[in-house]
Structure formats: C-alpha cells, structure tokens
Amino acid sequence: MADTDLRSVIVWFESAEQMLMAVLDVIPFEAVHENVWSPRLVTVLLETCSQLDSLLKQQAVQSPCVTSQNLNIADYFAFFGEHLSGKWVLFWGESPEKIRPFEAWQGLASFDKASYSGHELEWWKAYNKIKHNRIENRREATLRRAVEAMGGLFLAILYCEICRDAVGASGWLQSHSHNPKANLDDHLNPMPDRRIVAESKLFSYPVGWMNRPIKAHWLWSGAGSDRFNHWFNSQAE
C-alpha cells in the first residue's frame, strides 16, 4: 500500500467522524438516546465498519502466514483480538465516557477462530445485518453502535503498523517526544510515563494506559487538549 493510500485512511476516518458529529448536533449522546436510530447512522455504521474491514484485512495480509484474501471478522478476532480487546478510548459526547469497542473479546482463554462464536461485537453484527438488507435492518443502526464502531476504527488505526507514518503526520499525536508514533505498540510495551495522547475531534486515547489505574493526585504532565487534561486530572481511581 502506497503512502498516499495510507494518508487516505486518516481522511476517510475524519470524513466518517464528521458525519457522526452532524448526528450528534441533533441527537446528543446520553443514556436516553443510545438506542435511537437514524438513516444517517446507517450511513455512518456502514462507512465506519467498511473502513475497519479493509484496514484489518490490509494489515493481516502483510504477514506471509496469511495467504487468503477472503477474510472476515473471525479472522480479525484470531489475528488481532488479544491486542485490541483490552483497549478503551475516551469519547467526547455530552460528557466524556470510556468506550470499549472490543470488550466482548476481553479475557478469553483462546483467540482461535473457533472461539469467536458467542463473542460477537454487537455493532459489527448490526453492520452485517444492514449490509445484507439495509431497508429491513435499518433500525439496527443505533447511536451507541455507531459510536462504538467509530471508536473501534480509531483504535484500529492507531494499532495497525501500516498506518504509523500516516498517524504520525495526522496531527492526532500530542506529545513532547520527538517520535511519539514509535510508542503506539502499547499492547506489547505499555509506557504511560511518556504521556502521549492521540486525539481526534471525538476521541482521545492515552497511549499505554489501557490497563493502568489513574491514582489520586496524578496530573497529566504531557501535551494534550485542555479537555483531556481536565478529564485525566479528575479521574483518580
């Protein structure tokens, strides 16, 4: 995949995020609206999950062990599930909320394809239903599912090695480090002391903090938006 294609991954994400933001201008993200559906959310869910499918497939086929181009969500579960399952991202709705798009995969003893059954992602199931019959299944596109799908795509972009240069050039990474993208393998080597945060319009991801508690009196000492700094400094566990 050429560098121009990788930059397109960021452009496509930001375009889909803008569509979700337009919905949120009308339907605020709060508990009473989580199950609201909209024709626009159908478009958001289809576009977001289609991007995720293409991205994870492209990452998978970089391995010489993957010879098939006919991959599906069970394959992505086997290839990437262990690393994505524990990740959370902060979503900026009416109030900041931790979103765990791959939580259904967390804590499993095995990540082979046979183990996927019974651990489906609700937002991906909705996407598949809509993809096969948009009219009949349009009400599957709820606000909660669209937000979780978008959060899952954001996390996947940060995770995929093929996107590292594009992420580095995107403006998403806030850090005092000269090369913050080198720390995005935090599922293998958590380094929260680096104080790196990836931020889009709707999401923030503090690199290395997926399994770390935020202790009393800790302050965010790295670069980042004011909204993220204020949230972190109020999150003592």
How do residues 79-89 score in pLDDT, each as one tens digit?
999 999 999 99
Given a cut of 90, is residue 188 above it in pLDDT? Answer: no
Q: What is the pLDDT of residue 237?
A: 62
- pLDDT at residue 222, as a whole number: 87
Instruction: Name, of 71-75, 184-188, 231-235, the range with top average pLDDT.
Output: 71-75
The residue type at 114: A
User: Does residue 1 surpass a pLDDT of 70?
Assistant: no
The pLDDT of residue 177 is: 85
Q: Which of 47-56, 62-71, 179-188 has the lowest mean pLDDT?
A: 62-71
With cut-offs at 50, 70 and 90, classify the pLDDT of residue 5: low
pLDDT at position 29 is: 96
Q: Are 69 and 89 in contact (CB under 8 A)?
A: no
Taking CA atoms, 132 is separated from 125, 140, 198, in Å, by 11, 12, 34
Higher pLDDT: 126 or 221? It is: 126
* Cα(233)–Cα(216) distance, integer angstroms: 9
What is the separation of C-alpha 75 from the centre of its chain, rounded to a whole number of angstroms? 18
Quick one: pLDDT at residue 63? 87
